[in-house]
Amino acid sequence: MAELVDTIAALEKRNQELVRLLEQAKDSLGEMRAKLAEASAPPQTFATFVQWAGTYADIVANGRRMRVAVLPAVGRDLKPGDEVLLNAMSVVVGTALPERAGQAAIVREVLDDERVLVVSRGEDERVAILIGGDAPARVHEGDTVIIDPRTGFASEKVERSGVEALMLEEVPDVDFASIGGLQGQIERIRDAIELPLRHPELYREHALQPPRGLLLYGPPGCGKTLIAKAVAHSLGEATGANRSYFLSVKGPELLNKYVGETERYIRTIFERARANAHTGAPVVVFFDEMDALFRARGSGVSSDMETTIVPQLLTELDGVEALSNVIVIGASNREDMIDPAILRPGRLDVKIAVERPDPQASIDILSKYLTTELPLDEGEVAAHGADRGATVATMIASTVARLFHDDDAAGYMSGALLRNVVDRAKTRAIKHVISGGSRGISTAHLQAAADQELAEARAVAARELGDR
């Protein structure tokens, strides 16, 4: 009996092992059948959900809009723009991750909370539907969005660094009061730009068309870029807008070795300007170093690129005619090399020479950088009866006299050089304090900095003359 009991226990153990192996084989067979079913299943089609129509769903698949059935397992959480999967019977059987690629378009106008007017492929306008909970709040005129041409959905905003880098979202903090030595030029600019904005009714009464752009020309470092930024600031105040746009473009930045890319970049810049102008905010498009890009056609001093780039700019300049709050400003050191068609009346109407500063203008420029708030040499302040204003005036007069003591010094003078004189004097004053000397900027610091700046300017001019 004991042997029989042991035999029965062994058989039961073997039976349990066989049952386990059979269950394992059954599971493996089920997995193989499932994999075989997946491998032999027909392909599923991607589609875009548009809206619910009762228990059915309106979708767009392969450019066709259809109304199809939806499996109960999919649920009712689908939102416009979601990607869905269709079986061979065109029934929605599941969802998929959204597609992140598409056609780029620029928002020209926000129509309402759901729709925007976009421009793509040149001047092709269409109305797109915004999708996403925060889409209406984060999309503004001039933004770039991804659109699906088949459904008309605008899915997301795209940050385009090549263009966004040109845009200052706030009003430039440079005003005309911070520019010294250019009162005559500033008055002409304000007459040409601010008067039409402040008194549009008088211009309409006199049938006078406001200028569309202006050219600033003169030696480098004399304030052309500074004036352009001040114009953007002034336009924001003149129009009462809480913001203005300043698109700064340097000529060499537009150059591209691929055919048509430079022209496309110019179109993009002006498209962005027009889109922002529709909001009522003033827009300044500033082209620095214009002679590097828009040379006279047929001059023989460069390749043939200007034969297509110049006409593209002319087309865009003529296109801003109807927009009174877009101003095009060009700056150049060699205005004689710019194509005459750009400079003709009706395009860049106003031409202003920004000359090198004379002694009186130099005093005005230095007063913007050397102020009474800076630490001054206490001995010099005491010599003027503690009058810091008189001390600064004397220091500036002495520095200007030192700068213009040679007859040829006027040919090297510029606003950038004068600012460097003050910066060098500040550095000398700091080093003097570190070495154990007294605190404050002195006339000696300024005169030594002036001598150093003039010496470097002469050396640069000599090297350029030798290269020629």
The pLDDT of residue 35 is 78
41-55 in b/e form (b: 16+ CB < 10 A) is: eeeeeebbbbeeeee
CB burial of residue 22 (10 Å; 0-12, 13-18, 19+): exposed
Question: Three-state DSSP class for 370?
Answer: coil
**From CA 85, how far away is CA 205, in angstroms rounded?**
64
The pLDDT of residue 414 is 86
The lowest-confidence range among 134-143, 281-290, 390-399, 400-409 is 134-143
Asked whether the beta carbons of 335 and 199 are under 8 A apart, the reply is: no
Structure confidence at residue 251 as a pLDDT band (50, 70, 90): low
The lowest-confidence range among 49-58, 169-178, 307-316 is 169-178
| Cα four-point dihedral sign 366, 367, 372, 373 | negative
**From CA 210, how far away is CA 40, in angstroms rounded?**
72
Structure confidence at residue 285 as a pLDDT band (50, 70, 90): confident
Q: Residues 147-186: pLDDT tens digits? A: 887 777 887 777 665 555 555 445 567 778 878 888 888 8
Q: Residues 99-155: pLDDT tens digits? A: 777 777 877 777 877 788 887 765 677 888 887 654 545 677 667 788 887 777 887
> CA dihedral defined by 227, 218, 274, 232, rounded to 10 degrees?
0
Question: Three-state DSSP class for 106?
Answer: strand
Which residues are CB-neighbours of 198 under 8 A, at least 6 positions away? 238
Asked whether the beta carbons of 212 and 346 are under 8 A apart, the reply is: yes
Percent of the chain whose pLDDT exceeds 90: 6
Q: Residues 16-45: pLDDT tens digits? A: 888 888 888 888 888 888 777 666 667 888
Across the range 48-68, mean pLDDT stands at 88
CB burial of residue 449 (10 Å; 0-12, 13-18, 19+): buried
Delineate the domains of the chain, giving CATH numbers in brackets.
45-96 (2.40.50.140), 103-159 (2.40.50.140), 176-353 (3.40.50.300), 359-467 (1.10.8)
Tally of CB atoms within 10 A around 277:
20
Nearest to 318 by CA among 292, 294, 345: 345
**From CA 427, how far away is CA 441, in angstroms rounded?**
9
Q: Residues 444-466: pLDDT tens digits? A: 999 999 888 888 888 877 776 66
pLDDT at residue 67 greater than cutoff 90: yes
Q: How many helices (H) and strands (E) does the chain have?
A: 15, 15
Q: Where are the beta strands (DSSP E) in 251-400?
A: 283-288, 326-332, 350-353
| pTM > 0.75: yes or no | no
**Better pLDDT: 139 or 243:** 139
**Better pLDDT: 343 or 259:** 343
CA 305 to chain CA centroid, nearest Å: 25
Q: Where are the beta strands (DSSP E) in 310-407?
A: 326-332, 350-353
Nearest to 416 by CA among 462, 360, 369, 464: 369
**From CA 283, how far away is CA 270, in angstroms rounded?**
10
CA angle at residue 209 from 204 to 213, to 5 degrees?
A: 140
